[in-house]
Amino acid sequence: QVELVESGGGSVQAGGSLTLSCAASGNTGRTYCMGWFRQAPAKPREGVAALYTGRNTTYYADSVKGRFTISQDNAKNTLYLQMNSLTPEDAAMYYCAAFESNGYCHFYPAIDFRYWGQGSQVTISS
């Protein structure tokens, strides 16, 4: 069992930056595929980025590639999403998620992700 708690959401102007954190607790001694997802009102959930904790390999959606960076701090059991050059299209509820993995990692399909955080709201003002 793994518990995930996001933080760091808020309101920022277009063009600005924001960093989300996802603190993991519980059975963190194994390797996981960890992902960030987002969902805006009336839109489907979208995978944003994923990271395999065993090798620190990362994957990004085309919509955020070059602007967002996913990373981990093993000592703190924390996953991060650094978001730069934010646009109004990035506004959404952002969720951290994870599933235990021996190597496979991607943000699709989302159904693979067994553990989910409660979400952190990101608002972008133009």
Q: Which amino acid is at 53?
A: T
Q: What pLDDT shows up at residue 109?
A: 86
Q: Quick one: residue 119, left, alpha or beta (phi over 0 = left, psi -120 to 50 = alpha)?
A: left
The beta strand positions in 1-126, using DSSP E, are 2-7, 10-13, 18-26, 32-39, 46-52, 57-60, 68-73, 78-83, 92-100, 115-116, 120-125
Note every long-range contact of 25-30, with CB atoms under 8 Å and residues 24 or more positions apart, other chains counting.
25/77, 26/1, 26/2, 27/1, 27/2, 28/2, 28/77, 30/100
pLDDT digits (tens, 9 = 90+) for 89-122: 999 999 999 999 999 999 888 889 999 999 999 9
Instruction: Give the pLDDT band (50/70/90) at residue 34.
Output: very high
Rounded Cα distance between 93 and 72, Å, is 20
Mean pLDDT, range 14-31, rounded to an integer: 93
Q: What pLDDT shows up at residue 7?
A: 96
Mean pLDDT, range 22-41, rounded to an integer: 93
Cis peptide before 44 (omega within 30 of 0): no
CB-based contact 90:74 (threshold 8 Å)? no
